[in-house]
Chains A and B, each alone.
Chain A
């Protein structure tokens, strides 16, 4: 039972959002309500990723994390737009425990070394957005999968581990938001290349996918967003108050659209306690 189960909260402005392939972001509600529920449900950690910070500069992220850290006492990983040791320090001060870095680490790999020297390796999470370019070949993308780098994922994760990264958050851009399952080849190859823990992300649509990425992908931790978020949207409906959201894609909130109407046919949402019960006690479940 050592594999960690980690909800991922994608943040845009003050909102919790979710897209497909990191695009087409749809507002799901208030991140603090989801985060609090995940904490009560026994999430092992939480990951916050600001989806636009790299493009438009930091806005609400530190504030969201700061509110969460006063009430939620599990590790909080935070990323999006982190460019310097000062940015890392600011997010740690706000309440983050680990900082996820993608774009800035690729443009200046020394940031990984500087961050791990200053705050410890356990603090620095390499965030990888992996896009398949040919069978067995993956390229790192940056800026929420908007920019190509030409950098090979397998070379980069090894380099980053040598520079002092403490964990790797590995997102398959191709699978992200689709519910079609994790990219097992991608995850298992990275997990075999580095000694640091690998957090698999992108594609979880049901319990079987999570089981697969643990058994076949050899993931040390499992991250999912849609799988958990959509299990809460009914419960949160009363608290969501779509009129509070003045900008962005709020159609989902206003119309309470079923998942199937929006191309989420592949997602069978589940709450964390039920997921854990089925992963760790399959016999009890079938009895």
Chain B
């Protein structure tokens, strides 16, 4: 690694979705991104992104089939910075109720639930949610200093495509919320070296690129186990 230069980001390929956009966004930021399904490379990664679209159950099944669950948990246990995007964020949680009950990676306690199909006044809400929603401060938080959103202002919008959303057990991990159909949902979670975003930063214009930049420049909590 070049001193002060961008570190390599390892993008986990588990067969779900389109990774080209993410690679392009990282290239635009001047960060080398390697797409891999090699368990060894994931275990030893310096910085990990778990992307993904599709169903929770399929996602876990694909991670298991490729032998990637243990390397991922190992990387997380040595505090390797890990960014989960969309389904990749949801997989960080304990379990999901999408098409039955499925166990997740359980790195963050909580359950993934379906977006509510009605507004509080009873009007229908379209699910999936496809579109831009503003990030807001969750109750009890006055700013984003010290968080991965430190370079963002409340009200900046990001691009979402999802039918499900995580509901963490502890509100303290929620960095940002967004509103859809008149209800507030978790949009960004942070816990130790883990960062999860329900939106697609690689498709959210300049604010999304700014978040990716913040992630790739984020210092490690620990250096244990990193060559």
Q: Which residues of A contact B (CB under 8 A)?
A: 1-4, 39, 42, 44, 69-71, 73-75, 92-93, 95, 97, 119-123, 166-167, 195-197, 220-221
Contact pick for B203, options A71, A97, A195, A196, CB 8 Å: A97
A-B CB contacts (within 8 Å), total count: 82
B67 within 8 A of A: no
Whether the Cβ atoms of A73 and B126 lie closer than 8 Å is: no
Whether the Cβ atoms of B25 and A122 lie closer than 8 Å is: no
Contact with A along B194-224 (1 / 0, CB 8 A): 0000000011111011000000000000000
B17 within 8 A of A: yes
- For B157, give the chain A residue with the smallest CB separation: A1
Most chain-B Cβ atoms within 10 A of its Cβ — which of A73, A166, A220? A73
Chain A residues, CB < 8 A from B6: none
Whether the Cβ atoms of B161 and A122 lie closer than 8 Å is: yes
Q: Which residues of B contact A (CB under 8 A)?
A: 16-18, 20-21, 24-25, 27-28, 53-54, 126-128, 130-134, 157, 159, 161, 180, 202-206, 208-209
The 9 tightest CB contacts between A and B, nearest first, are: A120-B53, A122-B161, A120-B54, A197-B130, A92-B18, A2-B131, A4-B131, A75-B203, A74-B205
Contact pick for B159, options A39, A75, A120, A197, CB 8 Å: A75
Whether the Cβ atoms of A120 and B17 lie closer than 8 Å is: yes
Please give the distance in Å from A162's CB to the nearest CB on chain B. 15
- For A69, give the chain B residue with the smallest CB separation: B24
When A195-B126, A197-B126, A220-B131 are in contact, do A123 and B204 touch as well, CB less than 8 Å? no
Please give the distance in Å from B28's CB to the nearest CB on chain A. 7
Please give the distance in Å from B103's CB to the nearest CB on chain A. 21
Q: How far is the CA of A121 from the CA of B130 in the complex (A)?
A: 11
Chain B residues, CB < 8 A from A73: 21, 24-25, 28, 202-206, 208-209
Chain B residues, CB < 8 A from A120: 16-18, 53-54
Secondary structure class of chain B's binding surface, majority of residues: mixed
Chain A residues, CB < 8 A from B132: 1-2, 4, 44
Whether the Cβ atoms of B21 and A195 lie closer than 8 Å is: no
Chain B residues, CB < 8 A from A221: 130-131
Known: A70-B24, A166-B128. 5 other contacts (CB 8 A): A71-B28, A74-B204, A119-B18, A123-B17, A220-B131
When A4-B131, A75-B203, A122-B130 are in contact, do A95 and B20 touch as well, CB less than 8 Å? yes
Q: How far is the CA of A221 from the CA of B28 in the complex (A)?
A: 28
- For A117, give the chain B residue with the smallest CB separation: B54
Whether the Cβ atoms of A196 and B24 lie closer than 8 Å is: no
Chain A residues, CB < 8 A from B161: 122, 166
Whether the Cβ atoms of A97 and B17 lie closer than 8 Å is: no
Whether the Cβ atoms of B24 and A166 lie closer than 8 Å is: no
Chain A residues, CB < 8 A from B18: 92, 97, 119-120, 123
Please give the distance in Å from B204's CB to the nearest CB on chain A. 7
Whether the Cβ atoms of A196 and B131 lie closer than 8 Å is: no
Whether the Cβ atoms of A92 and B20 lie closer than 8 Å is: yes
